[in-house]
Amino acid sequence: MGGSDSSSSSSSSLGRAGTFSGQPGPSGAGTGAIVSSNATNGGSSGSAGANQGANAMFNPPLPASLLAEADEVLPVSLTTSNSSPGNTATNSNVGSQSDGAAGGNNNGNNNSIYEFIQSRSWDTSQRQTKEDWIDWMARFSSELLKYSASRSLAACHKLSQSYPLLAGELFNASFVCCWTQLDDKLKSELIRHLTWAIHYPQSPPEILQTVLNLAEFMEHDHQPLPIPIHILGQVAETCAAYAKALHYTEHEFKREPQSATESLISINNKLELSEAASGVLIYVQRIYEIKQKESWYEKLHLWDAALKVYEKKQKSKPDLANDIGLTLGRMRCLNALGEWEELQTLANDYWQVLQSTVHPDDGGGSVEGNINVQKQMALFAANASWHLHNFDLLGKYIGVIPDTNLEGSFYRAILEIHKNNFEQGEKYINSARSALDTELRALVGEGYTRAYKLILRAQHLTHLEQIIELKRFNHLRNASNIQQNLSSSTSSSLSSLSLSTASASLTPTAEYNSERTSVILDSWKQRLKGSRHEVSVWQDLLALNSMVITPHEDLDQWLKFASLCRRGSRFKLAERTLIRLMKPETVSGLISGGGGASLLGENQKVAFAWIEHLWAVGVDKQKIDIQIESYKYLESFTQKILSSAPTPVSNYLLPRCYLKLGSWLKALGSSGKNSRQGTNNNNNNMGYNAVSNTRQYGNNNNVNINEVLEYYKRVTQISPDWAKAWHAWALANYELTQPGDDSNSNNLGSKLKLDPHIIPSIQGFFKSMALSQAAAAADASGWRKKWDDNSTLQDVLRLLNITFNYAHFKVVEDAIYEGLNIVSIETWLQVIPQLIARIHIPVPAISNILTQLLIRLGEKHPQALVYPLAVAIKSPQPARVAAAYKVLESMSTNIVSQTLVDQAQLVSKELIRVAILWEELWHDAIDDAYVYWHKHRDVDKMLEILNPLNEKLLGYPLTLQTANKGASSGGNNNSNNNNNNAANGNTAPSFGPETNSEMDFDNQYGKDIKEAAQFVLKYHKSKKTSHMDEAWAVYSRIFRRLYKKLTDATDVDLALSDVSPRLVRARNLELAVPGTYNAYHDVIRISSFSMPVTLITSKQRPKRLTIFGSNGKAYTFLLKGHEDLRQDERVMQVFGLINSKLTSDRKTLGGGNEIGQGLKIQQYSIIPLSPVSGLIGYLLNHITLHDLICNYRDSQKIAIKAEFNAMRNMAPSYLLLSVIQKVEVFKEGLKSTEGDDLEKIFWLKSPNSEVWLERRTNYTRSLATMSMVGYILGLGDRHLRNIMLDKGTGKITHIDFGDCFEVAIHRDKYPERIPFRLTRMLIKAMEVSGIEGNFRSTCERVMRVMHDNKESVMAVLEAFVHDPLINWRLLTPSEVDGHLSPQSERHREEEKEQKVVVGSVTTKSRRTIEDLQDFSQSCEGEPVVHKRAEAAIRRVRAKLDGTDFSPRGRGLPIVRLTVEQQVESLIEQATSHENLCQLYVGWCPFW
């Protein structure tokens, strides 16, 4: 690869040698002819007088076309210089003395650059071989460093003499330092030499890569290297730097989309970004209406479509029947599709045509041209011959493939091994490995995915060596058999001693051969298992296996391959594979229409696979008749197994047959149904109607549900240890207990009567989980790795749902207790929030189950319970507090647990103290109390807010009793005593300041607070309003001072010793670091707390603190007050389930494009500490998109509010405009900027193109993933402060999940009518095709996974919306207004007039939140909350069914969209200017 001087290397891609062939000489260099690269290999020696001619010969100038292209980017002086690579000697004295080349500011710099110019180290004269070019680059790098204008860089020159790599590492920086000192003439000369260096045929890849890195570096430095972009793109593609090539080609595409489209598609495919390539095609067709070329289908890997186009074109035009270009296109498609028979026939037909016909278009009229075509054709034909085991034809085709070629050596090795010429085969294997080495070295540095195909070929070579080993074993075995036969027939003259000796010498070898054979065959199975689950990968490996093992001997692997083809929608290949495994009479029967009867005599595994294949074809083509036929075949096949003698195979297949019968019958019953229909009594609806003992297929599907349940029940009876069978049985029964989508009942009535399917579902779920856990525990690798809690989360939540609704029945209670005894206690760790949320349920049976379960958890995993229970005991509901203390008391019987409880309460209390400092407490309390007094004259409500703080500071409440007792003086003395106690670190006082921070507050505001308290107490005695007014005059003064202090503050570090000295003393605790406890790993305990606590300036004033763990690591958290984090905690549960589904789906798992995309939602720990505070795992190396964009605009001197300012200038009264007028103003605002800020940030913040591409791809896919998940969840409030970017990976992370289930859509003001955020700045940061490509395809993949797992998702979300601690968030003030007291209604009216606006959205005030919480837990509120919860669940189910865009209303038809249609509709909504222009301006819809 660039390392040889032979003529063959000059014909590399781009034709770098031919580019300069026959071009005129440079100006002033005479008219000497420029020779081809073949001529450059000689004539380098000669007299000094011949140097000029030699220079012109070895270093021809750039061609006129290239110079013309350079005119576009070079200044005039750079393109008119006479200096050239071939004429540098005559200009060696041109320097800065006359022309001012050295533009330095001091004499030292001038002298350095002058010496650099005199050295002419950039001169490419006399450079021919690879070694010459490497020496040139080494000298150039060293001279740049030596004469650098930067003293720091120049000082490194001496070190670089000892460590030569240093000059290369600093090449970019030293080049820029010298570049800025040169004048235009010298820059022109330098560029000419660099351009020649990257175009010279023998220039090694290292030189090309160095120049490309330099161009990239200078582009980041805002002074791009003046080499045309398309040249850099071509060079990048030549040296396989495809990420760089993509960057430059995208720039070309933006200027000339027609000319760059094909290159862009090709490069994306080389980067394994097939979705991006498809997006480019869709984009250009939609935007530019460019006519599609046939070859584009190939580049997009749409092989079926490409094959049809090629065949149609050849058939439609007889003159193209023998067109080699079209024929080669057909061959490429057939090769990719694995259509070996058709490919071989096509190759045979055209092979003779090539030998007898000359095709000017392909070979320029030469025989050599046809030979080149034959070489291309031979590669495809040889591949087909190998897979078909037609080795005679294989020998014919490889004759024209050079044996130095990787594929030529590979196929020759296969042929020689087939002929048992093992030594020759090993020779070709070594030859292929040598050829592979060069290519692999170039690609492996760009990542495993890029180099995967070559790595796979290297694996094939090892496979061939093992085949040789096996075949040699067979030869030895055959030789042994022959010798033994000869021994038995030999006359008695052969002594028995010699026979026994011979036999003894063969026995150990035979044993070794047998053992070695088993090892090799096992390794082949593992190789298949560990390789990508792609059809082409498995096809090649199985073809190698079949050289020594027939498909019937390797039946299981070939059946897995057929299944792989079926899952990949390669139905034709799956069919051919299965037919290959069938008996001839079975195939004849199928062809003649024998159907199911023909399969009864076939191998049972093959027959079962064929029936599965037939069903899959029916589902894919949406043909119910094929599905019905498959079902009937399976029924007959099952009866055949039952009537036959049992075998291990039949015992394995029978339960799977019944499981398929149940699931297929259920699918047949639900097909054609747009909604579930209710049934009565025991025949509850499961997506089909119940008709006693009858079954009708087709459009009027009526299925006996008892038959479905009977199939599932038989599976559990036949295979009682199969977890999947019990799960299917449980889920089928559970679904029958759920109301239909059209049910408007609150499901409360169902609790009065026990559904007969409840007990089977309980038993099934428990049995399924117990068996799964047992199987994982028995696995040799350990069940900690294999057992995934998220995989059973939905089943555990279903069991909890049954418990909450039916455990008051004795039989259900007994079944639950029985189930609890057979599953691991760790099963319930994942649902601790749900358990504690219902801990105070008034039904004794249910309460006892929950309490006993929590007590068992506390005994074995106290670390998992201490934080949640610490929150529960702070609840305002006495029942919850009492239940939580009951569990804590049971834990306290153990000394270790008691220590944990004490430490948890201490840490929780102190963290809450730090989260909400006294300044914040008093500021908010005075603000809330002000409304109650000044607006409503409600003293009781006012004091209800202020008294807890007065008691804490003064030691007494402001009540009439306190006024009568005269407690103020005593309180003052106690306060002083408490101050002394706190200062001395004594036991915590009951009131008064306890920390330095609180004492400072007391010193600043204590006197005023006491003064106000005295006025309030006087009011109690006199009832004079003047006294209360005087109190509020003082409170107002306090509020103004607090407001100024809080709003003027910036990010500052607080000393932990000032805000919580107890945390400073808390060291080496038994308590685990919050959020780190894992039942299957060692406990990470709290070692200490960091001294500085950073206060972050924002409305909520969160604090950042670090906890040091016992493992030596630091864990950083965001400590938030004034916010209930319990809903965010539940959202993380939902994300965990969805991540488990994404990782278990082949198309969304992994990092490679073909097998998946590694899609995953970023999770982080959330630990509620109280109903109004908690810890959030701090996302290191993350930044909000808002801060990222603001920082960029500030650095580029762009107005941060440029779009908003343009809108305001055009329409000062924007909010009063109609929607149509807003759209016009909004569009004008968009025109004020390009909106490419985020796109440029990705490029400027990435060190190179490879990192840039990886980050951009991660960004696009993570944005798409979270967009779909956020839509299903109904997530709102997606302003740019709630979306963060991982600065390392580029992945998107969302935060703040306070608005879920489309609450933001129902706001009275500024409702969010968009499904997710997809503004123009986010779109422009994707590929040049925008949403077409990775974004759309990822959206469709994720949405399809959600649809396929909708029941699991629904189970989690149902538990979410029915959680009594968080379901109040579903309410809106308008839904509660009619149920509030007149006083509360006045509060609501006031809030409608003055909303609390934070950054971008209208939020609920604390009074509103309290009202909603109180109302949701009241008798009046429960039905309202339940109604909203049911509506939310119906809405989510509609999204997962694809009916979310159906017209709403009774009698209207239900429209079910495909995933593609649903995603398209969502994107239209998200990008609609009509929707965006109505959003709150702080949401920044124009970004």
Work out the average pLDDT over 733-741.
Answer: 76
Dihedrals phi, psi of 806, to nearest 5 degrees: -130, 0
In which element (H, E) is residue 258 found?
A: helix 257-270
Instruction: Sheet with 1292-1294: list strands edge to edge.
Output: 1182-1184, 1283-1286, 1292-1294
- For residue 86, the Cα-to-chain-centroid distance in whole angstroms is 53
Work out the average pLDDT over 22-44.
Answer: 32
More confident position, 368 or 344? 344
- pLDDT for 112 equals 63
Among 320-334, 568-582, 829-843, 978-992, the minimum mean pLDDT is found in 978-992
Distance from C-alpha of 991 to C-alpha of 1380, rounded to nearest angstrom: 35
13, 238 Cβ separation under 8 angstroms? yes
Among 99-113, 428-442, 1421-1435, the minimum mean pLDDT is found in 99-113
Q: Tokens 């008892």 belong to which residue?
A: 706
pLDDT bracket for residue 1008 (50, 70, 90)? very high
Work out the average pLDDT over 960-969.
Answer: 63
Distance from C-alpha of 128 to C-alpha of 6, rounded to nearest angstrom: 12
pLDDT bracket for residue 558 (50, 70, 90)? very high
More confident position, 369 or 807? 807
Question: Is the predicted pLDDT of residue 21 greater than 70, yes or no?
Answer: no
- pLDDT for 613 equals 92
Work out the average pLDDT over 420-438.
Answer: 88
- pLDDT for 463 equals 92
**CB proximity list for 851: less than 8 A, separation 6 or greater:** 839, 883, 886, 887
Most confident of 189-203, 950-964, 1023-1037: 1023-1037
- pLDDT for 913 equals 92
Fill in the DSSP letter of residue 1319: -
3 state SS of 148 = coil
Cα-Cα-Cα-Cα dihedral sign, residues 1107, 1110, 1114, 1118: negative
Distance from C-alpha of 988 to C-alpha of 1449, rounded to nearest angstrom: 62
- pLDDT for 369 equals 56
| DSSP per position, 1452-1484 | PPP----HHHHHHHHHHHHH-HHHHTTS-GGG-
- pLDDT for 111 equals 57
Q: Which two tokens stand for residue 713?
A: 């029940």
- pLDDT for 505 equals 38
Most confident of 152-166, 690-704, 1134-1148: 152-166
Work out the average pLDDT over 9-14.
Answer: 33
Distance from C-alpha of 1324 to C-alpha of 917, rounded to nearest angstrom: 43
- pLDDT for 384 equals 92
- pLDDT for 451 equals 78
- pLDDT for 495 equals 38
Distance from C-alpha of 1136 to C-alpha of 84, rounded to nearest angstrom: 63
Q: Tokens 């002033």 belong to which residue?
A: 28
Question: Is the predicted pLDDT of residue 1137 greater than 70, yes or no?
Answer: yes
Question: Is the predicted pLDDT of residue 221 greater than 90, yes or no?
Answer: no
- pLDDT for 574 equals 92
What percentage of residues in the chain have a pLDDT greater than 70?
A: 75
- pLDDT for 682 equals 37
- pLDDT for 1183 equals 92
- pLDDT for 36 equals 31
- pLDDT for 1039 equals 92
Please name which of 421, 403, 422 lies closest in space to residue 466, comparing C-alpha atoms. Answer: 422
- pLDDT for 792 equals 80
Most confident of 35-44, 137-146, 1149-1158: 137-146
Q: Could you give the C-alpha distances from 104 to 140, 170, 182, 188, in angstroms and in order?
A: 21, 20, 9, 19
Among 132-136, 178-182, 497-501, 1229-1233, the minimum mean pLDDT is found in 497-501
- For residue 12, the Cα-to-chain-centroid distance in whole angstroms is 38
pLDDT bracket for residue 728 (50, 70, 90)? very high
3 state SS of 1349 = coil
pLDDT digits 0-9 by tens, 1247-1262: 989 899 999 999 999 9
More confident position, 1433 or 1085? 1085
pLDDT digits 0-9 by tens, 815-873: 999 999 999 998 899 888 888 888 888 888 998 999 999 999 988 899 998 888 888 88
- pLDDT for 544 equals 92
CA angle 993, 999, 1003 (to 5 degrees): 125
- pLDDT for 922 equals 92
Question: Is the predicted pLDDT of residue 1449 greater than 70, yes or no?
Answer: no
- pLDDT for 1450 equals 65
More confident position, 68 or 711? 711
More confident position, 675 or 615? 615
More confident position, 875 or 1151? 875
Q: Report the chain's mean pLDDT, rounded to a whole number.
A: 77
What are residue 1166's DSSP bridge partners? 1176
Q: What is the 3-state secondary structure (H, E, C) of 709-759?
A: HHHHHHHHHHCCCCHHHHHHHHHHHHHHCCCCCCCCCCCCHHHHCCCCCHH
pLDDT digits 0-9 by tens, 395-415: 888 888 888 788 889 999 999
Work out the average pLDDT over 533-557.
Answer: 90
Among 175-184, 296-305, 704-713, 1322-1331, the minimum mean pLDDT is found in 296-305
Q: Which two tokens stand for residue 856?
A: 């068992």
Question: Is the predicted pLDDT of residue 1080 greater than 90, yes or no?
Answer: no
More confident position, 1247 or 622? 1247
pLDDT bracket for residue 744 (50, 70, 90)? very low
- pLDDT for 715 equals 93
Pairing of strands 1103-1109, 1086-1089: antiparallel
- pLDDT for 1400 equals 31
- pLDDT for 834 equals 86
pLDDT digits 0-9 by tens, 1374-1400: 554 444 444 444 344 333 333 332 233
pLDDT digits 0-9 by tens, 784-825: 444 455 568 888 888 988 998 888 899 999 999 999 999 999
548, 472 Cβ separation under 8 angstroms? no
Most confident of 191-205, 1140-1154, 1268-1282: 1268-1282
Please report, for the chain, how many H helices and E strands are present, in that order: 71, 12
b/e sequence 960-987, b meaning 16+ C-beta within 10 Å:
eebbeeebbeebeebbeebbebbeeeee
Work out the average pLDDT over 1075-1090.
Answer: 91
Cα-Cα-Cα-Cα dihedral sign, residues 43, 84, 119, 121: negative
Distance from C-alpha of 624 to C-alpha of 605, rounded to nearest angstrom: 25
Fill in the DSSP letter of residue 204: -
Question: Is the predicted pLDDT of residue 950 greater than 80, yes or no?
Answer: yes
- pLDDT for 775 equals 81
- pLDDT for 746 equals 40
- pLDDT for 355 equals 61
- pLDDT for 136 equals 87
Q: What is the 3-state secondary structure (H, E, C) of 280-313?
A: HHHHHHHHCCCCCCHHHHHHCCCHHHHHHHHHHH
- pLDDT for 1156 equals 45
pLDDT bracket for residue 491 (50, 70, 90)? very low
Question: Is the predicted pLDDT of residue 968 greater than 50, yes or no?
Answer: no
- pLDDT for 1385 equals 40
